[in-house]
Amino acid sequence: MSALTRPAPAAVVRGIGAYVPPKVVTNDDLAEYLDTSDEWVRSRTGIVQRHVAAPDVSTVDLSTEAAARALKSAGGGDADAVLVATTTPDRLCPATAPEVASRLGLTNVAAFDVGAVCTGFIYALAAGSGLIAAGIAERVVVVGAEAIHRFLNPADRSTSVIFGDGAGALVLGAGEADEPGALGPFDLGSDGENADLIAVNAGGSRLPASRSDIERSLHFLQMDGREVYRHAIPRMVSSCQRVLGAAGWTVADVDRLVGHQANVRILHGVADRLGVPASKSVVNIERYGNTAAASVPLALADPAPVGLLPGHRVLLTAFGGGLTWGSTVLTWPTLSVT
């Protein structure tokens, strides 16, 4: 086949890595200062514990560790680009990714952040796939990372019991569309009319940081959980159906459903509406909580729930602030998880 007619390269998963900070906060720990209990949190969210980064550990630190493990899983070597999906960058400016790339020893490479909240990792995978398809990069590190506890009001039960810190990463390499690990079609969407349902309202250009905003707790994450639940399930289900159709798959073809670990009720609701058996749904929210953009890669790297085996046909889907949602598919390759 001539160069003029050769298909664009596909983005293929070559390595995977994950990292969570060692400190664990249980529901009982939270009950010591919040009006809550282990039973209350478990029954409503499915969460038992979450990991929390130490005060001197930032999103850059979490990202670097996960990315380094992913590169080791991929056999080492360099990359041409680093993408970091995060809701909690170290600073508004500059982006997180260039510092992560520098710490990894990658110089003069493309590096940028992707901000799509809990859907961020799916968006970043799509962006990394685009870089490879366009011939801009042959190897891309895609990270989802959050130090989200820095943005939680410790007195707000609606958010403090839900979220956890952590990071996960994949290394994508140029390859063939029919080989294991090749990312399939993507479905991405948004609904900005509901942007206020999940938001950190102060600290940006609309409401620059001020004492009055801090006193009103506007620099903390705020979420309308009931409305988020109402939107999340139908958006994720529709996105999954579209991407399955684009891939030529049916629901019966799916061996593993890996959804954003937002809430166990949402995960079960998506699986039920799609017709995916519970035994095929990867759920690890009980140990990590909702880690936002880190959620999907942490679930991919976690062998404990139902596990991903080489040859498994995997459906990925997520929903988050923006509102945003997205899905993609792949056949799971043989990987060394680190």
215 versus 45: the higher-pLDDT residue is: 45
Per-chain mean pLDDT for the chain: 95
Percent of the chain with pLDDT over 90: 88
pLDDT at 304 over 80: no
In sequence order, the 6+-apart residues with CB closer than 8 A to the CB of 36 are 27, 30, 157, 161
Query: Which residue has tokens 């514990």?
Result: 49
Active site residue 290: yes
Give the lowest-confidence range in 2-6, 106-110, 117-121.
2-6
Active site residue 231: no
Q: Where are the alpha helices (DSSP H) in 105-224?
A: 120-133, 157-160, 211-215
State which of 199-208, 212-221, 272-281 shows the largest mean pLDDT. Answer: 272-281
pLDDT-derived band at 5, boundaries 50, 70, 90: low
pLDDT at 336: 80
Of 27, 263, 284, 290, the catalytic one is 290
| 254-290: pLDDT as tens digits | 999 999 999 999 999 999 999 999 999 999 999 999 9
Active site residue 153: no
Q: Where are the alpha helices (DSSP H) in 202-263?
A: 211-215, 225-247
pLDDT at 52 over 90: yes
Of 51, 149, 219, 260, the catalytic one is 260
What is the distance between the alpha carbons of residues 57 and 53, in angstroms, rounded to a whole number? 6
pLDDT at 209: 80
Of 118, 149, 263, 284, the catalytic one is 118
Domains in the chain, CATH or no CATH each = 10-175 (3.40.47.10), 186-331 (3.40.47.10)
- Are 148 and 139 within 8 A, CB to CB? no
Mean pLDDT of 66-86: 97
Q: Running DSSP on this structure, what letter comes out for residue 87?
A: S
Q: Which long-range contacts (CB under 8 A, 24 or more apart) does 26-29 make?
A: 27/161
pLDDT at 2: 44
pLDDT at 263: 95
* Residue 312 CA: distances (Å) to CA of 63, 180, 186, 331: 27, 9, 18, 6
pLDDT at 165 over 70: yes
pLDDT at 1: 42
Q: Could you tell me the pTM of the whole model?
A: 0.95
pLDDT at 210: 85
Question: Which residues are bridge partners to 11 per DSSP?
Answer: 174
In sequence order, the 6+-apart residues with CB closer than 8 A to the CB of 286 are 42, 46, 47, 48, 49, 264
| 15-43: pLDDT as tens digits | 999 999 999 999 999 999 999 999 999 99
| 223-253: pLDDT as tens digits | 999 999 999 999 999 999 999 999 999 999 9
pLDDT at 3 over 60: no
pLDDT at 90: 97
